[in-house]
């Protein structure tokens, strides 16, 4: 059985795509990349209109039941189900 290192007692049920994103900096008007990879929903909630940076995707295992994972950007927890 494959298990996640974060939740070693729960089997992995799916993989989730995390990307780096491009967004428009409202203060400078410049297009900037995000510092961290994140889910599309998290990127849109944080930066608004975003565009994937090709070649930056990482597949991450999500334990069965869609447990929450910490968000690097906001420090809040993001539900993965």
Give the tens place of pLDDT for each residue, 46-59.
Answer: 999 999 999 999 99
Summary mean pLDDT of the chain? 79
Q: What is the 3-state secondary structure (H, E, C) of the chain?
A: CCECCCCCCCEEEEEEEEECEEEECCCCCCEEECCCCECHHHHHHHHCCEEECCCCCEEEEEECCCCCEECCCCCCEECCC
Do 15 and 60 form a contact (C-beta atoms < 8 A)? Answer: yes
> Residue 65 contacts by C-beta under 8 Å, 6 or more apart in sequence?
10, 13, 81
Instruction: List the domain boundaries for the chain.
Output: 12-78
Residue 76: is its pLDDT beyond 50? no
CA 31/CA 16 separation, integer angstroms: 26
């Amino acid at each position: 059985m494959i298990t996640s290192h974060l939740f070693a007692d729960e089997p992995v049920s799916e993989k989730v795509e995390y990307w780096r994103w491009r967004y428009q900096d409202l203060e400078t008007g410049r297009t900037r990349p995000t510092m961290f990879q994140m889910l599309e929903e998290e990127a849109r909630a944080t930066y608004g209109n975003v565009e994937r940076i090709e070649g930056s995707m990482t597949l991450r295992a999500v334990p069965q039941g869609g447990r929450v994972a910490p968000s690097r950007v906001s420090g809040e927890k993001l539900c993965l189900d």
